[in-house]
């Protein structure tokens, strides 16, 4: 929350996008024209987000800093008074050689650093991505007589490059499956981030023209997403790929917290079809560990530290690293979702809180369905509804007709006539008793009696709690 310079992105017309993971969110829902950001440009994220916007049918000019694959993210954006830097999903590509761009920014003066916190609790350095390439070589060597299917993040271009390198080494054709994977690989090739030898990539329709042991599939679905390509293969609903006994399936990723069950389900489905599933030693983290965080703080020398990208304990660990490196405790901000941090050259403070969380889209309505509506829908889905209809004489509140009971999603009335008749008798007795002792009872009181009576009776008889909806008419 700060004034933007004319050269940088205007708040009301653009969004600083410093994160190249298209499948993780980004700016695709935002329409409009994007102004050039006075930032350290990074081609990977630019290409990914441009293609994402085209895929949504939007026209936009987009030149914002970010990272995908080989870029060490340097998302520095210039305000009127200072430079703010964001680094998300990064690690040092080469130990022992200080990053000149970050060092240069540190000399100029950085107002605030927003750094990835995911691995802030882990000591040492993040393992090199090259180790995954060696693992791929070993797996390819050991499985030369089976088809290989590798699931990874679509935006991890370095990982895709290593898969292609191993495939070429062992004379295999490569098929790319999954919309985001196909899109990002096309962008990476156009921008020169991905080197693919001629005649290596083939279309999925050509898969049947080659022996299985001469093919490799690179696919999405490493997190068990239900509609991703690998999940559809595992569930036997993929139109063009069928898992066969002996296939080698590699998960080149770790489950994101919360996705463990989905990933386990896919692994079980693949194993049941006879596939050999490998899910260890084929991935290294894409997040900086403690020593790399210490180095980035030392190079950039920010006035304010704002830990981002992680759970609260990760943010706290990152904040602890910042304070040990000399950043005053009052200049380190651990923000909660919705906090508005106001920055200027002299100070930073939390000045407001905005509403955050899920915005539910239902048909043409956006945000008009909330927790209460969802709770009612879940209740109806689990136990159904009983509608109790009765007619009272206007003025005297004498019961003229009913109560009649209509069941939807609770029981099949024709097969439960005894239960429904007994329920009708019980609620009739309760209503008559209420009207007898409280002749002028208002409708809310009568409805409450109907609900309480029906709930108690139905629970005793069926151990279920359908929604009870009383409807009273007067004549």
- Do residues 85 and 74 lie in contact, with contact meaning Cβ atoms separated by under 8 Å? yes
**Distance in angstroms (rounded) separating the CA atoms of residues 382 and 74:** 50
- Nearest by Cα to 88 from 21, 152, 146, 29: 21
Q: Which of 40, 116, 158, 247 is catalytic?
A: 116
Phi, psi (deg, nearest 5) at residue 117: -115, 0
Residue with structure tokens 């403070």?
Answer: 349
Do residues 432 and 460 touch, judged by C-beta distance below 8 A?
Answer: no
Helix (H, G, I), strand (E, B) or coil at 97: coil
- CA separation for the pair 461, 220 (Å, rounded): 49
Of 21, 102, 283, 287, the catalytic one is: 287
Please list, in sequence order, all residues whose beta carbon lies within 8 angstroms of the beta carbon of residue 396, skipping any fewer than 6 positions away.
439
Q: Distance between CA atoms of 293 and 309, rounded to whole angstroms?
A: 13
Distance between CA atoms of 177 and 49, rounded to whole angstroms? 20
Structure-token pair, residue 330? 């009052």
Joined tokens for residue 455:
């709930």
Distance, in Å, from the CA atom of 115 to the CA atom of 95, rounded to the nearest integer, reads 19
287 catalytic? Reply is yes
> Is 145 a residue of the active site?
no
Q: Which residue has the tokens 């190249």?
A: 20
CA nearest 405: which of 416, 395, 397, 393? 416
Number of other CB atoms surrounding residue 197 within 10 Å: 11
- Catalytic residue ranges: 116, 287
């Amino acid at each position: 929350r700060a004034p933007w310079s004319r050269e940088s992105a205007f708040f009301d017309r653009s969004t600083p996008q410093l994160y190249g993971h298209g499948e993780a969110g980004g700016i695709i829902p935002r329409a409009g024209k994007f102004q050039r950001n006075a930032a350290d440009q990074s081609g990977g994220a630019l290409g990914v987000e441009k293609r994402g916007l085209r895929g949504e049918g939007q026209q936009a000019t987009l030149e914002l800093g970010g990272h995908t694959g080989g870029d060490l993210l340097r998302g520095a954006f210039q305000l009127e008074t200072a430079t703010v830097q964001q680094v998300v999903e990064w690690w040092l590509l080469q130990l022992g050689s200080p990053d000149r761009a970050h060092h240069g920014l540190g000399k100029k003066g950085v107002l605030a650093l927003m750094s990835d916190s995911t691995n802030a609790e882990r000591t040492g350095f993040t393992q090199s991505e090259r180790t995954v390439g060696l693992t791929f070589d070993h797996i390819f060597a050991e499985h030369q007589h089976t088809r290989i299917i590798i699931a990874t993040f679509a935006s991890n271009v370095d990982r895709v490059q290593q898969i292609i390198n191993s495939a070429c080494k062992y004379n295999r054709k490569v098929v790319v499956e999954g919309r985001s994977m196909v899109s990002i690989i096309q962008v990476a090739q156009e921008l020169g981030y991905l080197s693919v030898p001629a005649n290596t990539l083939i279309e999925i329709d050509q898969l049947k023209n080659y022996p299985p042991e001469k093919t490799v599939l690179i696919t999405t679905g490493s997190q068990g997403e239900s509609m991703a390509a690998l999940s559809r293969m595992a569930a036997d609903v993929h139109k063009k790929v069928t898992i066969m006994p002996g296939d080698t399936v590699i998960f080149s990723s770790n489950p994101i917290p919360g996705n463990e069950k989905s990933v386990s389900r896919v692994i079980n489905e693949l194993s049941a079809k006879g596939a050999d599933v490998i899910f260890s030693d084929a991935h290294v983290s894409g997040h900086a560990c403690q020593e790399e965080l210490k180095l980035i703080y030392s190079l950039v020398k920010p006035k304010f530290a704002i830990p981002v990208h992680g759970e609260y304990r990760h943010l706290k660990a990152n904040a602890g690293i910042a304070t040990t490196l000399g950043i005053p405790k009052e200049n380190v901000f651990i923000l909660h979702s919705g906090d508005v941090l106001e920055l200027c050259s002299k100070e930073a403070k939390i000045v407001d809180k905005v509403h955050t969380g899920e915005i539910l889209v239902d048909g043409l309505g956006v945000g008009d369905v909330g927790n209460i509506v969802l709770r009612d829908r879940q209740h109806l889905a689990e136990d159904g509804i009983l509608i109790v209809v009765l007619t009272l004489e206007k003025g005297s509140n004498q019961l003229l007709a009913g109560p009649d009971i209509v069941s939807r999603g609770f029981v099949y009335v024709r097969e439960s006539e005894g239960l429904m008749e007994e329920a009708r008798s019980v609620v009739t007795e309760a209503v008559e008793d209420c009207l007898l002792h409280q002749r002028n009872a208002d409708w809310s009181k009568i409805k409450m009696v109907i609900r309480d009576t029906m709930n108690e009776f139905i629970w005793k008889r069926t151990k279920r709690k359908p929604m009870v909806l009383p409807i009273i008419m007067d004549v």
